[in-house]
Amino acid sequence: MRGSVRLLSDLVEMDKAKEGFTVASSKRREGFSQAASERQQSLRANLQEEIVAGNLGYADAAAIEADSQEQEKGKKKELEKTEYEHFQNEVVLPLNDLLTGRISRTTDLFDDLTWQLFDNGRTDADMPQEEGDDRPELLEKLTLLKWIFETRETLYRAIYDIISDRNRRYREVVVAPYKLSGNAEKLKSAEAFFAEDAAKRAHAYANEMLDRARKLQAVVEEAVERGVALQLSAFWDIAPPLRQLLDGIPDNLGVFGVQIPPSELAENPSYHDHPMQYLYSLLQHAEKSTHQFIESHTNLLCLLHQVKEAVVNAHGRVLATRVEAADGISLEAEERERQANAMRHSENRRLTDDLKDKVRVVQDQWNSALGEGIHNVKERIGAWLLQSGGWDETLEESTGFGAM
């Protein structure tokens, strides 16, 4: 599936089509300008010859040149129309088909992965991934889902930009006659119409983007809720009995015996003289293994936080592109952007504080259930080994798991 997403997100074909049109269009425009310049020079030279020969008066020559300029304006209008048609046929139509097809395929991938997330027969994939397990964990699936969503948004944006470019070109076709004729009133009216249309399109696109982001959030929220519930259930299945074992280790380690499997003794001869090294290594492993539940929980919360931020940013775009406020009062672009930024700042700060609180609660749960107990027992065993000459620096792992 990842390979499919990479192929769908590759826009080289689109870039080549646009670049090819740009190069060809530039050549056509250069050719047009050169031909127009040559026609003008030839006409003026001919008129000058006729005037010198006495075959033509200055007034008639001026009239002929004015008529020629009108013809050139007509050719200029025809050029803009032709370039628009080239763009429509060489860029818009083929790329719209290409991008629409890719959007359809990314939507299929999105829907298929969403179905997998909530298929009751595959709930084992919602558990923390075991070492060597080839089944994807929930975080991996949700990260892939987010990537598919972002790829699809890129495709939607590409279509929006192409259509916007086409509309700008069509605007030039429409307003060209008014510019050439100097009809300021009609020019202003036409430009106002296209500006309003562009604003409406931008706002509609922003709303569509927000709607898609909210749908992603709904999927991720439900998946995270289920995944966290499973992780917590598994954690609390092992935490109480493990805590009982910790509480059963006496303060006087001299009277505490440790049974070590023969395979461990064969692999670690130092365990014969210092059996507490084996117990210390078991506690290290238990600490790391149980904390994986907390790490998985935290990673899911962070991913959900990213999705919520995407929704906030999409909402900000809606605010920034709206033409008027809820009360119908028209808003200037600067004011719209100010309100959008204020909303983003406020919401992102709230989401960040909420994430910090949730992560703190999760970490505190682990500390109170196991973390503090493991830490205290490890400290006692470490002191015992140090006193008895059995301490080995390799026993101490560099990673820590929160404040104890």
* Cβ atoms of 256 and 250 closer than 8 Å: yes
CA distance 375 to 393: 17
330 bridge partner residues? 324
Q: What is the pLDDT of residue 397?
A: 58
Helix orientation angle between 276-321 and 138-181, rounded to the nearest 10 degrees: 20
Mean pLDDT of 289-318: 94
Eight-class DSSP state of 129: P
CA distance 382 to 375: 10
Q: What is the pLDDT of residue 114?
A: 93
Angle, CA of 343, 348 and 354, to the nearest 5°: 130
**What's the length of the chain?**
404
Q: Which long-range contacts (CB under 8 A, 24 or more apart) does 392-395 make?
A: 392/270, 392/277, 395/277, 395/280, 395/281, 395/284
Instruction: Read off the pLDDT of residues 215-272 as tens digits, 9 standing for 90 and up.
Output: 999 999 999 999 888 888 888 999 999 999 898 888 888 778 888 899 988 988 888 8
CA dihedral 312, 317, 320, 326 (to 10 degrees): -70
Q: Which residues of 283-321 are buried (b: 16+ CB within 10 A; e: fewer)?
A: bbebbeebbebbbbbbbbbebbbebbbbbbbbbbbbbbb
Tokens representing residue 375 in the block = 């830490």
Q: Report helix, strand or coil for 135.
A: coil
| Share above pLDDT 90 across residues of the chain, in percent, rounded to a whole number | 50
Instruction: Read off the pLDDT of residues 34-51 as tens digits, 9 standing for 90 and up.
Output: 998 989 899 889 888 888
Instruction: Read off the pLDDT of residues 64-79 as tens digits, 9 standing for 90 and up.
Output: 888 888 888 888 889 9
Q: Within a 10 A sphere around the Cβ of 179, how many other Cβ atoms?
A: 17
Mean pLDDT of 380-400: 77
Cα 93 to chain centroid, rounded: 27
CA distance 11 to 269: 60
Q: Which of 8-22, 131-145, 176-190 has the lowest mean pLDDT?
A: 131-145
Tokens representing residue 90 in the block = 């060489």
At residue 325 the predicted structure's pLDDT band, cuts being 50, 70 and 90, is low
Question: Dihedral sign, CA of 369, 372, 376, 381?
Answer: positive
pTM of the model: 0.83
Q: What is the pLDDT of residue 122?
A: 53
Q: Report helix, strand or coil for 136.
A: coil
